[in-house]
Structure 1
Amino acid sequence: MPNILDKIIANKKREIEASCQLLGEEVAITTDRPTVSMKQALLESPTGIIAEFKRRSPSKGEIHPLALVNEVIPAYQKAGASACSVLTDTVYFGGALTDLANARSVSDIPLLRKDFIVSRRQIAEARAYGADAILLIAAALGADEIEDFTHYAHSLELEVLFEIHNIAELDKYYPGVDMVGVNNRDLTTFVTDPMLSEKVAGALPADVVKIAESGLTSINEVEQLRASGFSGFLIGETFMRHDRPGDALRKFLDATL
């Protein structure tokens, strides 16, 4: 019986096939904007917060359905986010590529296209719509795809965040990726263990930039993970449940600094 991730990936492949039939195989990249290094921004930041923009999720339902990118992203940046993650999946997360483009138009910090990447087309879209980095999910891809997509992303001057949920998925690790994220949320069940990142920290490559993702709600969790070698902390729902996500981030950081 298909799990949630299987359903999302199947739908994503149908979307890509439809896009190719309607718009053609190639994505025109007309921008010559230099990308901004998310990896470097995290290493240089005192906070390491990657503030996420998302309206809903399969596990939590509606989070902030009327949220506007041109309000939330600048507020995140002003509050001290090192980078921002923008959900571009429509069916399950209420996002769109136009959200990414709008985020780019109102911010100059690194932007991560957060989606379920299964095609080179999506990587080209990420570059065309203003991303600086893409997410490659181990549970959704084979090792050969991760290597191929990483090379293609780099050819477009995009960085790669490789995401795992357990130690076994490190078998798909490709040394060329720029960052490794540990998703505390199991994408097959959407059950969250906030400190999973700490449990697998010792198994991660020593010289890679490490990011803890999902389920983080407290100062103590962030500081504990920082002590375990993490440089980035991707947090969305904790901020997006507030009427003013940027204010929520500011209060969060005021308590940590």
Structure 2
Amino acid sequence: MTILDKIIERKKEEIAISKAKTSIDHLKNSVFFGRQNFSLKESVKNKSGIIAEFKRKSPSKGIINDQVQPLEVATAYEHFGASGISILTDHDFFGGSFDDVLKVRNHINIPILRKDFMVDEYQFYEAKSIGADAVLLIAACLSPNQVLEFTALAHELGLEVLLEIHTEEELEHYNSEIDLVGINNRNLKDFKVDLQHSVLLKDQLPKGVLSVAESGIYAIEDFKYLKEKGFDGFLMGEYFMKNEDPANKFGEFISNIAIQ
């Protein structure tokens, strides 16, 4: 069983517990459910293109940074020009929670991506109820038909969709309703990073599709290489979060790419 298999198995258990505790009707009564969402797609187009991530830990790296607070980091990300904020809401494997989104939502005016393992319709109502603007759909744990159905539901709720792929076979998960396509430089099964592989996949997407490079961007040179190859957006977390002061690290990064 891969790490991804273990995560999905645990996720389904969590969803069953959540459904028993909180109904969809209750989620619809949340203060954020009726808000007008920000567009991640438009923000990626018109700002730095960087979706900066708040992430405490991961299965492959262990603890990355559990000493900083989401509000402090997210407000700095916005201040320095992030197109959006990605916030992990998975607890067991990534140390995240809904509270991390709730603490930030009223204090920033850029999109929030709920980054989690979306395998059930219920989770989309959760995302809307906590103030997320977009959700991540991971092709590796969904069928093409599920991606189509989940995308329709997301749009019905006013949420945008970032579809994450890693293999050529997963290109089949793409449909024209998808808002952004993320190409994960890191293989979710063995966690190896291959930037060139991602470029080859991007070149097989239909023209005009907004592409986002995800994971494995460890240096300004990586960022520049991927930008030169035509990526529109960049989902970056570990590069900033592994620093004692992620906010300052992000500010330095933005300054460096601006003068090069």
TM-score (norm 1): 0.95
CA contact (8 A) 1:70 1:103 kept: yes
- 1:40 is aligned to 42
CA contact (8 A) 1:6 1:188 kept: no
Residue identity in the other structure for 1:78: H
CA contact (8 A) 1:48 1:231 kept: yes
Residue 194 of structure 1 and its aligned partner are, at CA, apart by 3.8
- 1:80 is aligned to 81
- 1:70 is aligned to 71
CA contact (8 A) 2:134 2:162 kept: yes
- 1:19 is aligned to 18
Query: Which one is further off, 15-24 or 240-249?
Result: 15-24
- 1:129 is aligned to 130
Q: Secondary structure at the match of 1:39?
A: helix
Spell out, residue by residue over 1:118-172, the C-alpha distance to the aligned partner (whole angstroms, 9 max, x if none): 0111111111101110000000101111011000000011000001011110111
Residue 197 of structure 1 and its aligned partner are, at CA, apart by 2.1
Runs (5+) with no aligned partner, structure 2: none
RMSD: 1.3
1:104-115 to 2 correspondences below 5 Å: 104-115=105-116
- 1:151 is aligned to 152
CA distance in 2, matches of 1:24, 1:156: 16
Q: Secondary structure at the match of 2:203?
A: helix
CA contact (8 A) 2:24 2:125 kept: no
TM-score (norm 2): 0.94
Q: Secondary structure at the match of 2:101?
A: helix
Residue 27 of structure 1 and its aligned partner are, at CA, apart by 4.9
- 2:201 is aligned to 200
- 1:61 is aligned to 62
CA distance in 1, matches of 2:116, 2:89: 6
Q: Secondary structure at the match of 1:176?
A: coil
Residue 199 of structure 1 and its aligned partner are, at CA, apart by 2.8
- 2:212 is aligned to 211
- 1:9 is aligned to 8
- Residue 130 and residue 137 in structure 1: after superposition, are their counterparts in 2 closer, same or farther (change >3 A)? same
Q: Secondary structure at the match of 2:225?
A: helix
Residue identity in the other structure for 1:11: R
Residue identity in the other structure for 1:10: E
Residue 200 of structure 1 and its aligned partner are, at CA, apart by 1.7
Query: Which one is further off, 152-161 or 166-175?
Result: 166-175
Spell out, residue by residue over 1:37-66, the C-alpha distance to the aligned partner (whole angstroms, 9 max, x if none): 000011111x21110000000000000112
CA contact (8 A) 1:26 1:121 kept: no
Spell out, residue by residue over 1:7-48, the C-alpha distance to the aligned partner (whole angstroms, 9 max, x if none): 000000010011112223555223321100000011111x21
Spell out, residue by residue over 1:201-245, the C-alpha distance to the aligned partner (whole angstroms, 9 max, x if none): 211121110000001022222222122221100100000011211
Q: Secondary structure at the match of 1:84?
A: strand
CA distance in 2, matches of 1:119, 1:111: 20
Q: Secondary structure at the match of 1:75?
A: helix
- The runs of 4+ residues in structure 1 deviating greater than 4 Å are none
Q: Secondary structure at the match of 1:229?
A: coil
Residue identity in the other structure for 1:94: G
